[in-house]
Amino acid sequence: MTTPASGTPERRFRPTRWSLVARAGSSNGEARRQALAELCQAYWYPLYAFVRRRAHDESSAADLTQEFFARLLEGDRLADADPARGRFRSFLLVSLRSFLANQSERQGAKKRGGDRTTFSMDFDQAATRFAQEPRDDETPDRALNRQWALELVDRSVARLRGEYAGRGRLATFQRLEGFLSGDGSDRYRRAATDLGSSESAVKVTVHRMRVRLQEILREEVLQTVEHPSSIEEEMRDLFAALVPPHRKKL
Partner 1 sequence: MEGDTRMTDPEFCADCGARIPDDGKSRRYCPGCLLRAGLDENHSDPHETAVLHTTGPSPSPEELAASFPSLEILDHIGLGGMGWVYKAHQKDLQRTVALKILPAELTQQESFRERFRREAQALAKLSHPHVVSLFESGETEDRAYFLMEYVDGKNLREIQRESALTPADVVATLTQICDALDYAHSHGVVHRDIKPENVLVDRQGSVKIADFGLARLLGTPGNPWMTGSHQVLGTPHYMAPEQWERPRAVDHRADIYGVGVMLYELLTGELPLGRFEPPSKRAPVDQRMDALVLRCLEKEPERRFQTARDLKTALEALASSGLRGTPLPGPAPSPPMASPRPSRGGTWLLAAHWVFAMVGLLVAMLAGLVPVFLWVLLVLGVILPATGVIRSLGTPRAWSYFTLLLTWMLMATLGLALVPSLATDLAECLSGPETSHGHARISFRPHEVRETGMILFTMTGVAWLGALLLRKIGQRWQRRLSRR
> How many whole angstroms separate alpha carbon 115 and alpha carbon 69?
11
> How many whole angstroms separate alpha carbon 186 and alpha carbon 202?
12
Q: Which is nearer to partner 1, 33 or 169 (CB)?
A: 169
Q: Does 167 bind partner 1 (CB under 8 A)?
A: yes
In this structure, are residues 25 and 247 in contact, taking their beta carbons and an 8 Å threshold?
no
State the sign of the Cα–Cα–Cα–Cα dihedral 202, 206, 212, 216: positive
Q: What are phi and psi of 27, to 5 degrees?
A: -150, 170
| Among 7, 25, 29, 108, interactor with partner 1 by CB under 8 A | 7
Q: Which is nearer to partner 1, 104 or 132 (CB)?
A: 132
Q: Does 83 bind partner 1 (CB under 8 A)?
A: no
Residue 50 carries which DSSP code? Answer: H
> How many whole angstroms separate alpha carbon 37 and alpha carbon 136?
31
Length, in residues, of the chain = 250
Of residues 15-54, which lie at the interface with partner 1 (CB under 8 A)? 15, 19, 26
Of residues 218-247, which lie at the interface with partner 1 (CB under 8 A)? 218, 227-229, 232, 235-236, 238-239, 242-244, 247
Q: Centre a 10 Å sphere on the Cβ of residue 210 and count the other Cβ atoms it contains.
A: 15
In this structure, are residues 122 and 129 in contact, taking their beta carbons and an 8 Å threshold?
no
Shortest Cβ distance from residue 46 to partner 1 (Å)?
11
Of residues 177-216, which lie at the interface with partner 1 (CB under 8 A)? 177-183, 187, 190-191, 194-198, 200-202, 204-205, 210-211, 213-215
Q: Which is nearer to partner 1, 111 or 207 (CB)?
A: 207
In this structure, are residues 88 and 234 in contact, taking their beta carbons and an 8 Å threshold?
no
| Among 157, 206, 224, 225, interactor with partner 1 by CB under 8 A | 157
Q: Does 155 bind partner 1 (CB under 8 A)?
A: no
Shortest Cβ distance from residue 149 to partner 1 (Å)?
6
Q: What are phi and psi of 239, to 5 degrees?
A: -65, -45
Shortest Cβ distance from residue 57 to partner 1 (Å)?
19
| Among 24, 101, 165, 171, interactor with partner 1 by CB under 8 A | 171
In this structure, are residues 151 and 157 in contact, taking their beta carbons and an 8 Å threshold?
no
- Amino acid symbol at 54: R
In this structure, are residues 241 and 146 in contact, taking their beta carbons and an 8 Å threshold?
yes
Of residues 117-146, which lie at the interface with partner 1 (CB under 8 A)? 128-129, 132-133, 146
Q: Which is nearer to partner 1, 33 or 212 (CB)?
A: 212
